A and B are shown apart, each in its own frame.
Chain A
Amino acid sequence: QSALTQPPSASGSPGQSVTISCTGTSSDVGGYDYVSWYQQHPGKVPKVMIYEVNRRPSGVPDRFSGSKSGNTASLTVSGLQAEDEADYYCYSYGGSNNFGVFGTGTKVTVL
């Protein structure tokens, strides 16, 4: 159960867009449409921002969007705002033998 691979950091100026990648294998990201993304501010509890690759829970701004191609999922934050500065983690279901795995995490900085 190796962690999914994310870039350690990403940044953008207010109003710009940032895209975070999440690379797994055909046994997790590539095999199921059960990829979700979590935002975590320092000292706070993670919050789900995207589920099932590209679905947004109620209350999450439509500036957040998700996609997937092959074994790589992506989270895009458009129109960056100061409050978007946080750590972001992807997660994928991995089947009954490797049920779940998180990504390594990406720190997003708003310049």
Chain B
Amino acid sequence: DVQLLESGGGLVQPGGSLRLSCAASGFTFRDYGMTWVRQAPGKGLEWVSTVSGHGSTTHYADSVKGRFTISRDNSLDTMSLQMNSLRPEDTAVYFCAKTSYFRYDYWGQGTLVTVSS
């Protein structure tokens, strides 16, 4: 079975940094793109960033471009999101999702990031 497990969320002050991780199992990790999607409390889904299977191609939403960096380690079947210069509006549950031809067919349970002083 496909499993995705996020970690690394927590409370951080505005301007601070946080690194999220997503551990994958149950599929050939390197064959699929991976994506971060976030959901602010009581709000809708927002696509954040996608990394290709080999890790050389990345895409970012304008709202995080220049502040967040997505990466992956295919030897460890993990994906990461380095978040810098965090803002209160980055507060959300962050989901990692397996990406198959521009659809997200498996999702993790999410990790909560709270940006507040």
Beta-carbon contact of A34 and B102 below 8 Å: yes
Which residue of chain A is the closest to B58 with respect to CB atoms? A99
Residues of chain B at interface, number, CB under 8 A: 22
Instruction: Produce 1/0 per residue, B30-68, CB < 8 A to A.
Output: 000001010000001111001000000001111100000
A91 CB → nearest B CB, Å? 7
Query: Which residues A65-79 have CB closer than 8 A to chain B?
Result: none
Are the CB atoms of A1 and B61 closer together than 8 Å? yes
Q: Which residues of B contact A100 (CB under 8 A)?
A: 35, 47, 50, 59, 61, 102
Q: How far is the CB of A102 from chain B (nearest CB, A)?
A: 4
- A91, B47: Cβ atoms under 8 Å? yes
In the complex, whether A57 has a CB less than 8 A from a CB of chain B is yes
Expressed in whole angstroms, the Cα–Cα distance for A23 and B107 within the complex equals: 25
- Mostly helix, strand, loop or mixed at chain B's interface? strand
Contact indicator B103/A52 (Cβ below 8 Å) = yes
Select which of B45, B62, B101, B108 is within 8 A of A38 by beta carbon.
B45
CB–CB A1/B62 < 8 A = yes
B105 touches A57 (CB 8 A): yes
Distance (Å) between the CB of A94 and the closest chain B CB? 9
Beta-carbon nearest neighbor of B49 in chain A: A99
Q: Is the CB of A102 within 8 A of B95?
A: no
Closest CB in chain B relative to A72 CB, distance in Å: 18
Q: Which of A3, A38, A99, A104 is B104 in contact with, Cβ under 8 Å?
A: A38
